[in-house]
C-alpha cells in the first residue's frame, strides 16, 4: 500500500514537472513570436507609417503577455496590413500614371503643334501609357514626353527667330538646388554627381532638359529597384506569416483536442479520488478497505500514466511546431538581412537636417565646393552669407529646449520661403544658417537679406503665453580672386561677429 502511495506520488510529481515543462515550452514559443514581430516591425519601418504603428502596438501587447490562441487573430491582422501595403503601392502607380497623363494632355492643348508631334503624342498617351504596368516602364514614356516638350520648345524658338542657344541660368540654379536634395550612393550617386558637374557648367535649355530626363531616369530606376526588392521581401514575409499561422492553427487545434482528453482524465481521476473517500467511510473492515484502496490505486496509477502519456505527446508536438517555426523564422531572418543589405546599398546619403528639413552642413560643403569651382573657372559673382539667431540660448533657458527646437523649425521655414529660387540655404549647425547667393554682387544682396531679416522678426512667436520677438544677424561677403573657400567663409563669419557686436538684428557686409 505505502509502495503504491509512493508510486502515485512519483507519478504526480512527474505530472507536475511535465506541466511546468509544457508551460516553459509555451513561453519559449511566445518569446519566439515576440522576437519575430519585433524584427519584422524594425525591418518594415518606413514602408508604411500605419504598419509601423500597428506592429509596434502588437509588439508591446505581446510583450505584456497574451494567450497563445490570441496570437492567431493578431497574425491575421498583420497579414492583412501587408496586403493593404501592396494595394497602396498600386495606388501610387496609378497616381504617377495620372500625372504623366495630365502633363501630356497639357502639351496636347498647345497651339501650333506640328502634325507628326501631335500624332506621336496621341499614340504615347493612348496606347503607350495604357500599357505601363510598373514604375520603371514610365522611363521611356517620360523620356519621349520630354523629347516632345523639347521639340515644341525648339519650334517656338524658331518661330521667335534667331538661332542663338537658349540658356537659362535660373533653371540651372533651380536644378542644382533640386540635385542638392538628391544624393544617392553607389552607381546612381556617380551619375547624379556627373549631372551636378554638367549643370554647374552648362546652362543651355537643351542640356538642362537632357539632365532632367536623366534625373527622372535615375529616380525611377532607383524606385523600381527598391520596389522590386521590397515586393520580394513582402512576399517572403507573407508566405512565412501564412505558414506560421497554419502551424499555430494546427498546434492550437491539437492542443485543444489534448486538453479535452486531459479534462476527461482529470474528471475521471477526481471521481476516483472521491469514491476512495466514500469507500473508506463505508468499509466494514480493514481487509476490505485494503483491497478496495489497492484496486482504486491501481486504476489511478493507470490514469496518471495515461495523463503523462498525453502530456508527453503534447510536449513532443509542441517541440516539433517550435522547431518548424524556428526554421521558418531563421529563413526569414536570412532574407531580412539580404533585404537590409540591398536597402543599405541604395540608401540616401543623409544630406538633410532632420529637425528643420533644410539641407545640412554636408550638403552645404558639397554645394559650396561646386560653386567655388565654377567661380574659379568662370569668375562669376558669388556671395556667401552666415546667419545666426540672436540670443538663442535665452530661448532654451527661458522656455525650454523644445521651444528652442520649434523656433529653429519656424525660422528655417521662414528663411526658406523668403530666399530667391536661385539661392541655396542650409542649416550649418546649432542656430546657424548659411546661404550661397550665386550671380550676385555684394552690393546687390542687401535687399534680399533685409527681406530675410524682416521676415524672421515678423514671426509672431508666443511662449508661455508671452509674445516673443526673435531676431537674426547676418554676415556676408563676396568671393574675391585668390580666395580659398575657408578664407571666404571666415570673412563672412567675421562680418557676422561684427553684426553681433554692434547690436544684433542687422546685416554686415564685408569686402
Q: How far is the CB of 66 from ligand GTP (least distance, A)?
A: 40
In total, the chain counts a number of residues equal to 511
Candidates 210, 366, 371, 390; binder of ligand GTP (CB under 6 A) is: 390
Told to check if 433 binds ligand GTP by CB under 6 A, we report no
86 near 131, Cβ under 8 Å? no
Q: Which is nearer to ligand GTP, 122 or 454 (CB)?
A: 454
Min separation Cβ 453 and ligand GTP, Å: 14
In angstroms, give the least distance from the CB of 399 to ligand GTP.
10
503 binding ligand GTP? (CB under 6 A): no
DSSP string, 225-240: HHHHHHHHHHHHHHHH
Strand partners, 204: 167
Instruction: Check binding of 404 to ligand GTP (CB under 6 A).
Output: yes
Return the closest-CA partner of residue 414 out of 368, 365, 472, 462: 472
Instruction: Tell me the window of 183-191, 202-210, 401-409, 417-425 that interacts with ligand GTP (CB under 6 A).
Output: 401-409
Tell the smallest beta-carbon distance from residue 500 to ligand GTP (Å): 5
Q: Which stretch binds ligand GTP (CB under 6 A): 105-113, 197-205, 309-317, 385-393?
A: 385-393
- H or E segment at 428? strand 424-429
User: Shortest distance, CB of residue 230 to ligand GTP, whole angstroms?
Assistant: 33
393 is an interface residue for ligand GTP by CB under 6 A: yes
Q: Residue 430, interface with ligand GTP (CB under 6 A)? A: yes
Q: What are phi and psi of 467, to 5 degrees?
A: -70, 130
Smallest separation (angstroms) from ligand GTP to the CB of 356: 9
Which region, judged by CB under 6 A, interacts with ligand GTP, from 131-139, 173-181, 312-320, 387-395?
387-395
**Least distance CB 480 / ligand GTP (angstroms):** 27
Alpha-carbon gap, residue 486 to 488, rounded angstroms: 5
Least Å distance between CB 501 and ligand GTP?
A: 9
Measured CA to CA, the distance from residue 360 to residue 425 in angstroms comes to 9
- Nearer CB in complex with ligand GTP: 284/402: 402
Binding ligand GTP (rule: CB under 6 A), the pick from 401, 441, 451, 454 is 401
DSSP H helix total and E strand total for the chain: 15, 7
For residue 306 the three cell numbers come to: 495515461
- Report the SS3 class of residue 463: strand
In the complex with ligand GTP, the residue whose CB is nearer, 186 or 430, is 430
**Which residues in 332-361 contact ligand GTP (CB under 6 A)?**
355
DSSP 3-state of 434: strand
Q: For 284, which DSSP code?
A: S
Residue 489, all three cell numbers: 567663409
* Contact status: 438 vs ligand GTP (CB under 6 A): no
C-alpha cell at 214: 536623366
Q: Which of 46, 106, 48, 110 is nearest to 82 (CA)?
A: 48
> Which of 206, 396, 455, 498: binder of ligand GTP (CB under 6 A)?
396
Beta bridge partners of 36: none
C-alpha cell at 126: 493612348
Distances (CA, A) of 2 to 7, 8, 9, 290, 300: 9, 10, 10, 11, 15
Smallest separation (angstroms) from ligand GTP to the CB of 401: 4
Candidates 88-96, 390-398, 435-443, 444-452 — which segment interacts with ligand GTP by CB under 6 A?
390-398
Enumerate binding residues for ligand GTP (CB under 6 A). Answer: 355, 388-394, 396, 401, 404-405, 408, 430-431, 500, 504
Amino acid at each position: 500500500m505505502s509502495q503504491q502511495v509512493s508510486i502515485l506520488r512519483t507519478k504526480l510529481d512527474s505530472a507536475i514537472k511535465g506541466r511546468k515543462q509544457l508551460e516553459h515550452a509555451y513561453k519559449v514559443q511566445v518569446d519566439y513570436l515576440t522576437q519575430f514581430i519585433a524584427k519584422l516591425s524594425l525591418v518594415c519601418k518606413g514602408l508604411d507609417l500605419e504598419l509601423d504603428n500597428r506592429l509596434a502596438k502588437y509588439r508591446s501587447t505581446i510583450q505584456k503577455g497574451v494567450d497563445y490562441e490570441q496570437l492567431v487573430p493578431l497574425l491575421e491582422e498583420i497579414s492583412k496590413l501587408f496586403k493593404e501595403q501592396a494595394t497602396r503601392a498600386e495606388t501610387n502607380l496609378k497616381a504617377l500614371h495620372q500625372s504623366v497623363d495630365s502633363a501630356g494632355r497639357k502639351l496636347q492643348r498647345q497651339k501650333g503643334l506640328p502634325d507628326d508631334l501631335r500624332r506621336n503624342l496621341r499614340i504615347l498617351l493612348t496606347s503607350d501609357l495604357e500599357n505601363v504596368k510598373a514604375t520603371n516602364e514610365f522611363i521611356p514614356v517620360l523620356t519621349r514626353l520630354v523629347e516632345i516638350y523639347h521639340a515644341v520648345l525648339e519650334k517656338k524658338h524658331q518661330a521667335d527667330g534667331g538661332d542663338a542657344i537658349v540658356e537659362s541660368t535660373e533653371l540651372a540654379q533651380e536644378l542644382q538646388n533640386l540635385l542638392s536634395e538628391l544624393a544617392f550612393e553607389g552607381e546612381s550617386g556617380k551619375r547624379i554627381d556627373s549631372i551636378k558637374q554638367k549643370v554647374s557648367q552648362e546652362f543651355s535649355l537643351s542640356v538642362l532638359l537632357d539632365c532632367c530626363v536623366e534625373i527622372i531616369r535615375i529616380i525611377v530606376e532607383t524606385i523600381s529597384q527598391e520596389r522590386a526588392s521590397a515586393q520580394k521581401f513582402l512576399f517572403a514575409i507573407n508566405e512565412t506569416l501564412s505558414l506560421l499561422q497554419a502551424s499555430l492553427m494546427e498546434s492550437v487545434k491539437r492542443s485543444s483536442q489534448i486538453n479535452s482528453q486531459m479534462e476527461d482524465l482529470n474528471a475521471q481521476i477526481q471521481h476516483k479520488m472521491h469514491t476512495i473517500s466514500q469507500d473508506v467511510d463505508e468499509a466494514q473492515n480493514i481487509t476490505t478497505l485494503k483491497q478496495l484502496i489497492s484496486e482504486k490505486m491501481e486504476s489511478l496509477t493507470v490514469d496518471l500514466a495515461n495523463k503523462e502519456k498525453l502530456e508527453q505527446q503534447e510536449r513532443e508536438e509542441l517541440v516539433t511546431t517550435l522547431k518548424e517555426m524556428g526554421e521558418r523564422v531563421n529563413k526569414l531572418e536570412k532574407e531580412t538581412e539580404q533585404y537590409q543589405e540591398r536597402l543599405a546599398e541604395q540608401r540616401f546619403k543623409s544630406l538633410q537636417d532632420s529637425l528643420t528639413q533644410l539641407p545640412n552642413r554636408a550638403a552645404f560643403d558639397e554645394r559650396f565646393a561646386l560653386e567655388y569651382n565654377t567661380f574659379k573657372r568662370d569668375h562669376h559673382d558669388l556671395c556667401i552669407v552666415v546667419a545666426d539667431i540672436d540670443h538663442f540660448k535665452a530661448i532654451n533657458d527661458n522656455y525650454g529646449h523644445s521651444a528652442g527646437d520649434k523656433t529653429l523649425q519656424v525660422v528655417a521655414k521662414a528663411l526658406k520661403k523668403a530666399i530667391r529660387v536661385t539661392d541655396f540655404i542650409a542649416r550649418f549647425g546649432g542656430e546657424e544658417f548659411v546661404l550661397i547667393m550665386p550671380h550676385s554682387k555684394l552690393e546687390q544682396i542687401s535687399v534680399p537679406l533685409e527681406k530675410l531679416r524682416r521676415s524672421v522678426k515678423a514671426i509672431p512667436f508666443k511662449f508661455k503665453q508671452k509674445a516673443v520677438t526673435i531676431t537674426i544677424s547676418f554676415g556676408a561677403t563676396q568671393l574675391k580672386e585668390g580666395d580659398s573657400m575657408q578664407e571666404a567663409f571666415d570673412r563672412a563669419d567675421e562680418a557676422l561677429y561684427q553684426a553681433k557686436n554692434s547690436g544684433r538684428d542687422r546685416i554686415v557686409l564685408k569686402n
